[in-house]
Amino acid sequence: MWSPQAALSEIITEEVRQVRERANATNRPGIIPIQIGQVASVNSDLSDYLAGLQSWEWRSSTDAPAIVEAVQNQLIAPQQDNRLAEKDSSVLPALIPPDSPSTEPELPVGQVPLESTFYIERPPIEAQCYQEIAHPGALIRIKAPRQMGKTSLMARILDQARKQGYRTVHLSFQLAPSDVLGNVDKLMRWFCLCVSRSLRLPNQLAEYWDDIFDGNYNSTSYFEQYLLAASNSPLVIGLDEVDRVFAYPEIANDFLGLLRAWYEKARYGDSDSDTWKKLRLIVIHSTEVYIPMNLNQSPFNVGLSIELPELTLEQVQDLTQRYRLDWTLNQIEKLMRLVGGHPYLLRVAMYHVAHQTIAFEQVLEQAATEAGVYSDHLRRHLWNLEQHPELANAFSDVVTAKTPVSLRTILAFKLHSLGLVTLASNHVTPRCELYRQYFCEHPAMDEIELT
C-alpha cells in the first residue's frame, strides 16, 4: 500500500528492492503498487524499483471493488515479462515532483534535485568532473558509501553534459534482474537495450547481435555501428550501483573489462577512434573492487577517480543557514560528533528541526532510539544485517571494540559499501557514534549472532 509514509521510508525501499529482484527472477508480479492519498514526494530509489509496474490509486472505499478485481486479474494472468528493459520506465510520474528552486526545508530522499538549494558542493570535485566530461573518451569513477551524494553528483555531471549538447543516459544496475547479471550475454543485451530506450532509439539488437560472437563483441558492434553512429553528439552514460556485478566475478570481469576496452578504443588513434571518442562514462560504486582483475583490463585504475568525502565543518555551517537554522557552533559540533559529516544524516536532523517537529536537544537524546529521527534509517541497516549474519557478526565486533578492528577484506569492504564503517589501512571503525550507540545496545544484534 503506497502511502506518503511508505513513499519516503528507507526500510520499505529495501523490502521493495528485494521483492522486485525475486519477482524478476521468477517472472511473477511480486509488487502491485496501490497509492493511498496524495503523495507529495517520493524516494527516488523506490521510484526506480517500481519502474514499469502497473499501479492503482485508492481514494475511497468505492474504489476497492475495482482495485481488488484488477489485482486478482493480474495475479491470475501475470504479464509475461516484468523487466524494466521490456517496459516503459515511467512509473507513477505524478509522485515525482519536478525540480524546484524552492528554499522550503526539503526532506532528504534519494538524489538531491538539480535546482535544490540544499545541494552542497565539495570543491574542487564538481569543477573537476565538469571539465573531465568534456574530454573525448572520458571516464569518471565516483566512489563513496551509501547516501554520501554519488547519484546527486552524477546527476549534475549529466546535466552539465546536456547543457553542452551531449546525449545522456542514467542507468542503475539495481534495476538489473539477477538472472541478467548472472549471464554476460543477457547482461549486454539488457545494457544495450536500456541505452537504446533512454535515447529513444528503436531496438536493433536483432540486426547487430550474432550468435557466433559473444556478448562483449556484439555489444561493441551495437555501440560502434548504431548507438554512437546515430549522432555526432557525444554520448555520456552514467552507470549507477555498479557494485551489483561484483557478486558475479566472471561476469564482472567481462563487463568491466569491456568498459576498459571501450575507454582504450578512444586512444588507439585508428579509424574507429573518432567514433569511440564520443563515448564518455561515469561509473559509480560504493566500495573497493574486491574481485581479482588484471590491472590492464580494469576500468578502476584509469580515468578521473573521485572519492566523496564527508562534509567539513564550514560546509555543515553553510547547510544550517540554507535550512534557516540559527544553530551555534557548539550545537553543530555536537551533531557532528554524533553523525560526523555524513550529508544525509545531517540533513535529516536539520529537516526535522526546521519543521519544528522536534527540538535540537531531542534529536541528540533520542538519536539511537526507535523514537528518534533516525529510526527508519537505522532499522534499514539492522534489517540488512539480519539478512547477512556474517556481516552482522563482524559489525558487532566493530561497534563493541574500544580500538579499530581487523576484519577479512571482503567483510570490511561490504560493511564500508553499506556506509556502516570507515576503513583505515587494514582496520575498521564505526562510521559514526550514532551507529556505535544503536547497534552496540540493540538486542537484535545478539539474536543474529545466535543464528
For the chain, which residues make up each domain, given as ranges? 4-91, 125-307, 313-373, 376-449
**Nine-digit cell string for 412:** 570490511
Quick one: average pLDDT of 199-205?
98
Please give the C-alpha separations between residue 17 and each of 10, 55, 112, 141, 206, in angstroms, as whole numbers: 11, 16, 20, 25, 31
Task: Please choose, from the candidates 156, 74, 72, 81, the residue with its C-alpha nearest in 3D space to the C-alpha of residue 112.
Answer: 156
Task: Please choose, from the candidates 119, 142, 73, the residue with its C-alpha nearest in 3D space to the C-alpha of residue 344.
Answer: 119
pLDDT for res 100? 45
Task: Please choose, from the candidates 266, 350, 354, 279, the residue with its C-alpha nearest in 3D space to the C-alpha of residue 311.
Answer: 350
**Nine-digit cell string for 125:** 570535485
Q: What is the C-alpha separation between 444 and 451, in angstroms, rounded?
A: 11
- Cell 574500544 belongs to 402
- The rounded radius of gyration (Å) of the Cα atoms in the chain is 23
Contact predicate 106/248, CB 8 Å: no
**Nine-digit cell string for 334:** 555536537
pLDDT for res 85? 39
pLDDT for res 77? 61
298 phi/psi in degrees, rounded to 5: -90, 135
Q: Which of 10-19, 235-244, 340-349, 369-378 has the lowest mean pLDDT?
A: 10-19
Q: What is the C-alpha separation between 328 and 313, in angstroms, rounded?
A: 12
Contact predicate 117/106, CB 8 Å: yes
Distance separating the N- and C-terminal Cα atoms of the chain: 32
Per-chain mean pLDDT for the chain:
87
pLDDT for res 78? 55
Half-sphere exposure (CA, 13 Å, Cβ side) for 342? 25
What is 125-307's CATH number?
3.40.50.300
Please give the C-alpha separations between residue 427 and each of 229, 391, 412, 445, in angstroms, as whole numbers: 48, 15, 8, 21
Contact predicate 139/303, CB 8 Å: yes
Grade residue 94 by pLDDT with cuts at 50, 70 and 90: very low
Which CATH fold topology does 376-449 show? Arc Repressor Mutant, subunit A (1.10.10)
Grade residue 24 by pLDDT with cuts at 50, 70 and 90: low
pLDDT for res 294? 87
- Residue partners of 40: CB distance under 8 A and separation at least 6: 4, 97
143 phi/psi in degrees, rounded to 5: -125, 135
